[in-house]
Chain A
Amino acid sequence: MLRSALAAALLLSSPALAAASCGASLVVQQDPQAAYKKLAKDFAKAMSTWQEELQAKVAAAEEAGERVPRSARRQPTKEFIASAQEFAQEYARKDAAVPFLGFILKNASAERNAVKWAVKTLASDHVESKAIGDVVDYLPRVARMAGRPAMSLMNDIADNHDDNDIRAKALLARSRQLLTRDDSEGAVADLEKVQELTKDADLLEEATEALIEVKKLAIGSVAPEIDGVDVEGVSFKLSDYRGKVVLLDFWGFW
């Protein structure tokens, strides 16, 4: 019920999507992997064209002493996100939908409704699928657009997924998220859990390296050496001050 209401709302809000869904039979004939590759390729091309054009416009505007119109800065994501939504709907409840949902999470710049829909769809249709392991990395980055549902989906995968490697991927994603909030204890707990759960060499290596990195700056660790110069150009080291209490202050006047 909620699903169809949401889909209807999206159709209403996007004429392009509404028009395209009439021709849905065309979409369904494509091989999902090929369709995804094409979408990603076309998107990359559109982005690089946009970037080149923007640079040219910025240069021209600077020359003329004018401002760059805001519209020129808008990334050309809208039609690609709409297209990814169509594909995700075509392959609804199948693993083939997951890459398209991931595409939305990864690339949406202003399409908040699409992101919310993608998170909701992943949570309702794909949370137990193995395919979801490929998109967990994108969940933290949509936390601001999609809010709590994105975080609870990530937590659900990290804590409950049947496949330990997929749990490990979600735990790694969550640990990075925790570090941005200065929660090194939480990050360490997640990373140690990864070491317990998985035998995958890449995931283990990532967890081990992250742990070394976190512990380097954790309370109780010996501070990393700083070997630098002061504003007069005189070299000195942090360890020159052993024997004294040091309040190390990262600061600036700006």
Chain B
Amino acid sequence: MIPHERSLVDKWKDRPFALIGVNSDKTNTDKGMALYKDKQEEMGVTWRSFRNEANEPTISSDWRVRGWPTLYYIDHEGVIKHKNIRGESQMEEVLEEMIAAAEAAQK
């Protein structure tokens, strides 16, 4: 999961694409924050995440997340286009299409 996501961030670094996490490690505790920092280094997490626990109610409850990971595909206008596509090749396919649409809108 993480290596594939890192490769997406790399691949589209010069195009209108952002991977944004909502991290549910218990970063409101010292232990959870330490786990996050260690693992972030170790696993090479290069993208930004909201701290789920820092919001009240939590972001995941606001978004009615029932399982992890949950993925939302949001286009350049902020519209939800897909949910929970998890196959790597299909992920890339739909994102490529969405990125192309974002670029077309820039012109």
* Interface residues contributed by chain A, number (CB under 8 Å): 35
What is the distance, in angstroms, from B17's C-beta to the closest C-beta of chain A?
Answer: 5
* Number of cross-chain contacts by CB at 8 Å: 150
Q: Does A222 contact B (CB under 8 A)?
A: yes
How far is it, in angstroms, between the C-alpha of A179 and the C-alpha of B67 when the chains are bound?
13
Q: Which B72-105 residues have a C-beta within 8 angstroms of A?
A: 72-84, 91, 95, 98-99, 102
Q: Are B63 and A229 in contact (CB under 8 A)?
A: no
Residues of B within 8 A of A248 (CB): 20-22, 71-74
Least CB separation from A239: chain B residue: B78
The one of B27, B60, B63 in contact with A231, judged by C-beta atoms closer than 8 angstroms, is B27
How far is it, in angstroms, between the C-alpha of A182 and the C-alpha of B18 when the chains are bound?
25
Q: Are B68 and A241 in contact (CB under 8 A)?
A: no
Question: Main SS of chain B's interface residues?
Answer: mixed
Residues of A within 8 A of B68 (CB): 250-252
Q: Place the interface of chain B in its size category.
A: 35 or more
Residues of B within 8 A of A253 (CB): 25, 35-36, 39, 43
The one of A218, A231, A236, A243 in contact with B16, judged by C-beta atoms closer than 8 angstroms, is A243
Q: Are B95 and A245 in contact (CB under 8 A)?
A: yes
Q: Does A23 contact B (CB under 8 A)?
A: no
Q: Are A251 and B23 in contact (CB under 8 A)?
A: yes
Given contacts A226-B50, A231-B51, could you give 6 more A-B pairs where the C-beta distance is less than 8 Å? A180-B66, A218-B80, A231-B49, A236-B48, A244-B76, A247-B8
- Which A residues lie at the B interface, using CB under 8 A? 179-180, 182, 213, 217-224, 226-231, 236, 238-239, 241-254
